[in-house]
Amino acid sequence: MRARRIGLRVGANTATAGMLVLLARASATPLPVGGASMSRLRMSWTARPERIEQCRTLAAEELGSRGEHMRQQVECEGRFATYALTVEVDSSAVHEQVRGAGLRHDRFEYLTTRVAASRSRSVVSDRPC
């Protein structure tokens, strides 16, 4: 019985060591990703959308027709901005339109995108539209 236990332990230890050697070799194996001359530019962008308001001054008649608790001399209507982002890499452009999250688009805006680029020296520029 005792010899059998020792044999099982030696077998388990040998199998574990073999698996660790295989894992180490597999981890060190180079994996080709894409073409040899291509790379990727990854961008992650977060912003709070700007509120765009249009305000007007109310006339005296309009103020008089409202309840006392509703009388404000200036009334504003607004919306949240939508942004257009253009990214140019090596004369190829990527266009993204970004709106805020949420039902009213008033939450943070998130953009995550990938752009293919050459491995040589690339020129990257972004500008609002």
Confirm if 124 and 88 have CB atoms less than 8 A apart. Answer: yes
Kindly state the average pLDDT of the residues 80-88.
80
Split into its structural domains, the chain has a count of 2
Residue with structure tokens 């008033």? 106
Q: Are residues 15 and 53 in the same domain?
A: no
DSSP designation for 50: P
Task: Tell me the per-residue pLDDT of 102-124, one tens digit each, with 9 for 90 and over.
Answer: 888 888 888 888 877 776 666 65
Burial group, residue 49, by CB count within 10 angstroms (0-12, 13-18, 19+) = buried
Of 97 and 92, the one with more pLDDT = 97
Ranking 3-12, 50-59, 88-97 by mean pLDDT, the lowest is 88-97
Task: Tell me the per-residue pLDDT of 6-43, one tens digit each, with 9 for 90 and over.
Answer: 888 999 999 999 999 999 998 888 877 666 667 777 88
Q: Are residues 115 and 73 in the same domain?
A: yes
Q: Are residues 22 and 47 in the same domain?
A: no
Q: Are residues 89 and 65 in the same domain?
A: yes
* Sign, Cα dihedral of 105, 109, 110, 111: positive
Q: Are residues 12 and 74 in the same domain?
A: no
Of 98 and 24, the one with more pLDDT = 24
Q: Are residues 23 and 54 in the same domain?
A: no
Q: Are residues 51 and 19 in the same domain?
A: no
In order, the DSSP letters of 74-105 are EEEEEEE--EEEEEEETTEEEEEEE--SSTTS
Q: What distance in Å separates the CA atoms of residue 26 and residue 110, rounded to the nearest whole number?
A: 36
Q: Domain limits at 70?
A: 37-128
Q: Are residues 66 and 9 in the same domain?
A: no
Q: What distance in Å separates the CA atoms of residue 98 and residue 95, rounded to the nearest whole number?
A: 10
Q: Are residues 45 and 71 in the same domain?
A: yes
Check residue 57 and give its pLDDT. Answer: 92
Two structure tokens written together for 57: 């001054």
Q: What distance in Å separates the CA atoms of residue 65 and residue 81, rounded to the nearest whole number?
A: 33
Q: Are residues 83 and 100 in the same domain?
A: yes
Q: Are residues 104 and 45 in the same domain?
A: yes
